[in-house]
Amino acid sequence: MDIFTLSVINLLTGSCLLILFSIKLNFTTGLSYKKDISLVGFCLFLHSLIVVLNEVYTLPYLIFPSLVNALIIYTEVYFLIFYRKLFGCPVGWWLHLVPVLLFLALNFDLFANDKNNRILLSVFTSLVVYLGFVKKIENSQIGNYRSLLYFARFVVAFSTIQMVSLALYVFFNTFINDKLGVKSLYLELGVFGFTVYSFLIFVFCVLYLFQFRYDKLKGVAEHDSLTDLFNRHTLNRKIGQELNKAERYGYSVCVAMVDIDFFKKINDDYGHLTGDKVLAESAYLIKKLFRGYDLIFRYGGEEFLIFLPNIQIDEASRKVEQLRYSCEYFSFSEQIQITFSIGYVVTNQVSSVEDLIKKADDALYIAKHTGRNNCVLWNSKSNNIFH
């Protein structure tokens, strides 16, 4: 393909990226890093538009090739920024200056009068940017984007090959009397490589969009819409996974059942909207007091279930008592005074999810029938319940 055709393809690719991630669409609502992806698309679009126009009109050097080369680097820089943000890596402010410095340098006579020097400088600048992709990323930051991480590395590896092709073109052009037209082949490979690179970036961004949509739908399926806690449908699976870990590593776990005392009276006296606010505020309070890796579920109605992995009985008792005490002094809607009754079980003898829930529920039953606003521990050793 000739340069004009490849540039038209790049123009379409950049336009699609720009439209897809810059305008408000239902399926991109809430998408993170839209601005960074839009900038990638804009730089690619503007670069390709200038190349296409230059095929028809002779543009001034300041625009072609000076600005065009800088836009290539801008495309790579904004893709790098998106990549680093996505995987939790810091973004250096200096990255934004790299294309500007390249643009300024290309206007010196050393580069303005020598195409080979321009290509080498651009190749070197690209390789400097690519160093930003090399940083090791911790597994905890990858989350659901592991496949995207591998794909991004493939994109960068491909582009590096493209840069090598351009460098070989300069080598043949400078040092070898090329009768077979090899240097032209390397130039064409370099230009074609940028088109493939642009398309791979587009594919990467679309895959990210699909992963985002999948995670969003999965979150809706797994979470209670009112409290944003895990719903009951996910309980067996998530706690089952944690119980397997507890059995493997031999640590204790705790299951606590929390009930809002006299919740029906709140609905009757203040209405269901206020009752919903109280549920949401109760969920907020529970999330605030427990560890980030504890699992919190809306079990049903005004009941919550908390699963605490790797915890000893003293620490578990302190945590549930802290929750009960904090509830008494928490500022709920309509200045309603709320109390919690809590039943919980702590054990290192891993049993079924259903067995743990039953024991915590039995303890909750005692808590509700012995004055409420208290915490009751199920005693697994004596197989009865005590305060």
Cβ-contact 119, 169 below 8 angstroms: yes
Between the alpha carbon of residue 239 and those of residues 88, 120, 243, 356, the distances in Å are 28, 57, 6, 10
Distance CA 159, CA 181 (A): 23
Distance CA 283, CA 42 (A): 43
Query: How many CA within 13 A on the CB side of residue 62?
Result: 0
Domain of 132 in residue numbering reads as: 3-222
Same domain as 262, residue 194 = no
pLDDT single digits (tens) 67-100: 999 999 999 999 999 988 888 788 888 888 999 9
167 falls within a domain: yes
At residue 139 the predicted structure's pLDDT band, cuts being 50, 70 and 90, is low
- Residue 281: name the closest of 203, 337, 359 by CA: 337
Query: How many CA within 13 A on the CB side of residue 325?
Result: 7
Same domain as 217, residue 84 = yes
Same domain as 361, residue 272 = yes
Distance CA 346, CA 246 (A): 12
317 falls within a domain: yes
pLDDT of residue 185: 63
Angle, nearest 10°, between helix axes 34-56 and 3-22?
150
Distance CA 215, CA 267 (A): 34
Q: If DSSP codes are grouped into helix, strand and coil, which group holds residue 58?
A: coil
143 falls within a domain: yes
Same domain as 213, residue 251 = no
pLDDT of residue 179: 53
pLDDT of residue 150: 86
pLDDT of residue 38: 93
In the predicted structure, residue 222 carries a pLDDT above the cut 60 = yes
In the predicted structure, residue 102 carries a pLDDT above the cut 90 = yes
Same domain as 239, residue 199 = no
Between the alpha carbon of residue 335 and those of residues 266, 269, 284, 338, the distances in Å are 12, 13, 16, 9
pLDDT single digits (tens) 319-366: 999 999 999 999 998 889 999 999 999 998 877 899 999 999 999 999
pLDDT of residue 167: 80
**Count of positions (residues) in the chain:** 387
Q: If DSSP codes are grouped into helix, strand and coil, which group holds residue 230?
A: strand
Distance CA 163, CA 186 (A): 10
pLDDT single digits (tens) 9-24: 999 999 999 998 988 7
pLDDT top residue among 113 and 303: 303
In the predicted structure, residue 2 carries a pLDDT above the cut 80 = no
pLDDT of residue 186: 58
Pick from 201, 222, 243: which residue ends a domain?
Answer: 222
Cβ-contact 349, 342 below 8 angstroms: no
pLDDT of residue 387: 45
Same domain as 106, residue 82 = yes
pLDDT of residue 30: 79
120 falls within a domain: yes
Cβ-contact 42, 198 below 8 angstroms: no
pLDDT of residue 8: 92
In the predicted structure, residue 381 carries a pLDDT above the cut 70 = no
β-bridge mates for residue 343, sequence order: 257, 376
Can you point out the beta strands (E) in 56-195?
none
Distance, first Cα to last Cα, the chain: 81
pTM for the full predicted model: 0.74
Distance of CA 196 to the CA centre of its chain: 26
The CATH number assigned to the domain holding 80 equals: 1.20.1070
pLDDT of residue 141: 59
Same domain as 128, residue 86 = yes
The CATH number assigned to the domain holding 340 equals: 3.30.70.270
Quote the mean pLDDT of the chain: 88
227 falls within a domain: no
pLDDT single digits (tens) 249-292: 999 999 999 999 999 999 999 999 999 999 999 999 999 999 99
pLDDT of residue 28: 76
pLDDT of residue 138: 60
Cβ-contact 76, 44 below 8 angstroms: no
Distance CA 370, CA 387 (A): 10
Cβ-contact 103, 126 below 8 angstroms: no
Percent of the chain whose predicted confidence (pLDDT) is above 90: 58
Q: If DSSP codes are grouped into helix, strand and coil, which group holds residue 2?
A: coil
Distance CA 49, CA 36 (A): 20
Cβ-contact 102, 121 below 8 angstroms: yes
Percent of the chain whose predicted confidence (pLDDT) is above 70: 91
Same domain as 43, residue 149 = yes
Total number of domains in the chain: 2
65 upstream amide cis, omega within 30 of 0: yes
* Residue 131 DSSP one-character state: G
Pick from 164, 195, 222: which residue ends a domain?
Answer: 222
Pick from 172, 193, 222: which residue ends a domain?
Answer: 222
pLDDT of residue 136: 66
pLDDT of residue 192: 83
| Residue partners of 294: CB distance under 8 A and separation at least 6 | 306, 307, 308, 309
Same domain as 208, residue 281 = no
Q: If DSSP codes are grouped into helix, strand and coil, which group holds residue 294?
A: coil
pLDDT single digits (tens) 152-193: 888 888 888 888 877 877 777 777 665 545 556 656 666 788
